[in-house]
Chain A
Amino acid sequence: AQSVTQLDSQVPVFEEAPVELRCNYSSSVSVYLFWYVQYPNQGLQLLLKYLSGSTLVKGINGFEAEFNKSQTSFHLRKPSVHISDTAEYFCAVSDSGGYNKLIFGAGTRLAVHP
């Protein structure tokens, strides 16, 4: 069975500062990895995904993530955040042989302050 751990429940940061949101996963099979963002009172929106190939993946809104197989991590980064990045961020995995069943982490609340 897969599981996802998001190490920080909340991350406060000042505007224009860099940020890293941490995600670790465990699985006995190959997985695909995703980051989703949820703005207040909205559904989830895909930020980026790792399927195979280059371990550094770029997504929307200037976010990127790096897949590290040896550390079973998929941390999300942005070099300079904006107030509008304030939201809940979810890391998720699906195993390569399943029915696209997403297992989510508990989420990280990113709060960007002026």
Chain B
Amino acid sequence: DTAVSQTPKYLVTQMGNDKSIKCEQNLGHDTMYWYKQDSKKFLKIMFSYNNKELIINETVPNRFSPKSPDKAHLNLHINSLELGDSAVYFCASSQNTGSSQPQHFGDGTRLSIL
């Protein structure tokens, strides 16, 4: 009964490939997020969706495309992978977009580009 689940947990692939990471939450939350954690553990928000609509879109290369088929799912597709994309990607969710709402995180997807 994992609250926020991401698949896969590990992803190893070659430069230039296209890959997707999936995220699902069973908390009934309206808002979902993608964060990137680099090798120095620094966390930065990439995107946020509220009820399937994009509300936060940080300065991220357009090779990254999020998709939300419904409010319980937020997937991340990455085209033409580059070495610098190696990182841990975290999905999170919150009740709504209110800034006082705590965010619930998945366990992360560790992406390694060869």
Interface residues of A (CB under 8 A from B): 32, 34, 36, 38, 41-46, 49, 51, 88, 90, 94-102, 104, 106-107
Contact = CB atoms under 8 A, between A and B. Distances in A.
B43 interface: yes
A36 B41 CA distance: 13
B103 A102 contact: yes
16 contacts: A32-B100, A36-B105, A38-B41, A43-B106, A44-B43, A44-B105, A46-B102, A49-B100, A51-B100, A94-B100, A99-B50, A99-B56, A100-B96, A100-B97, A104-B44, A106-B40
Given A45-B105, A94-B99, A101 B45 contact: yes
B66 interface: no
Nearest to A106: B42
Contacts of A99: 48, 50, 55-56, 97, 99
A104 B99 contact: no
A100 B43 contact: no
A41 B107 contact: yes
A106 B40 CA distance: 8
Contacts of A32: 99-100
Interface of B: 4, 31, 40-45, 48, 50, 55-56, 90, 92, 94, 96-108
Contacts of A102: 45, 103
A30 to B, nearest CB: 9
B102 A34 contact: yes
Contacts of A88: 41
A19 to B, nearest CB: 19
Contacts of A45: 105
Contacts of A41: 107-108
Chain A CB within 10 Å — which of B100, B101, B107 has the most?
B100
